[in-house]
Structure 1
C-alpha cells in the first residue's frame, strides 16, 4: 500500500511533468487522420473535443492543486463524483472512437496519460475504498 506522502509526491511529479501547451496540434492531427475524420464528421456540432478535454483536465488539475496545497477539505464534491465516473472516455462516451487511437499522438498521449494517472491518485486520496 502506497502512503499518502508517496501519492502526493507522485501527484506533484506528474503535475510538474505536464507543464506546457494544451495538445491542440495533436487534436488537429486527429481530425485530419483518415480513419478518424468520419467519426468527427458524425459528431457535427457536438464535436467539442477541445472544450470537453479542457474541462476534464482542469477538474483533475484543480483537485490535484487543492491536495498539493493542503486545501482538499473544501474540494467540490460534484467534481470528485463526476471524475469517479471513470476516465475521459467514460465521462464523454461520444469520443470512444479515440480510445484505441490516442497513443499515436505523442503530445496528447503524454498529457492524457499523465492526467489520467493524476485522476486515479486524486480519487484514491479523496474517496474511501467504498466510494471508488
Structure 2
C-alpha cells in the first residue's frame, strides 16, 4: 500500500513540476514591500529570500524526479521541513495578509503544496 501511495505522490510531483515555472510575482512582492514599508528593515531582501527559498523547493523536486533524493544535501532537506515564514521569520508580519496578493499567494500555495508533497514522498 505504501508503494502505491508513493507512486501516486511521485505522479503528483511530476504533474506539479510545470506549475513551478511561472514568472516571479514581482508586482505583488513590490506591493507587499510598499504596503508594509515601515515593517521592512533596510537589510530585508524579500525577493531574494523568496527566490532562495522557492529554488530550494524546485531543486529538491529535481532531485526526487531524477531518482537522486538520497544525494540531496541534508541542509536542503532540513529546509523542506520549514515554511518560508519559519525560515525567514522577519517577514512574519505579513503572513496573515498573503491572500491579499493574488499572484504571490498563488505561487506561495503552489510551492507549499510541492514542499509538503516532497516531505510526504520522502517519509
Corresponding residue number in structure 1 for 2:18: 16
Residue 71 of structure 1 is matched in structure 2 by 68
CA RMSD of aligned residues (A): 1.6
Please list the CA deviations of residues 43-99 of structure 1 after superposition, one character each: whole Å capped at 9, or x if unmatched. 12x211111111110111101111112121211111101322x20001110000111
CA distances 1:15-61 after superposition (whole Å, capped 9, x unpaired) = 2123221111110111222xx22112xx12x2111111111101111
- Given candidates 25, 28, 31, the residue that maps to 1:29 is 31
Give the TM-score, by structure 2 length. Answer: 0.89
Structure 2 partner of 1:90:
86
How far residue 115 of structure 1 moved from its aligned partner, in angstroms, is 0.3
Structure 2: distance between partners of 1:83 and 1:17: 18
Contact 1:18 1:110 (C-alpha < 8 Å) held by counterparts = no
Segments of structure 2 that go 5 or more residues without pairing to the other structure are none
- Given the two structures, how large is their TM-score scaled by the length of structure 1? 0.83
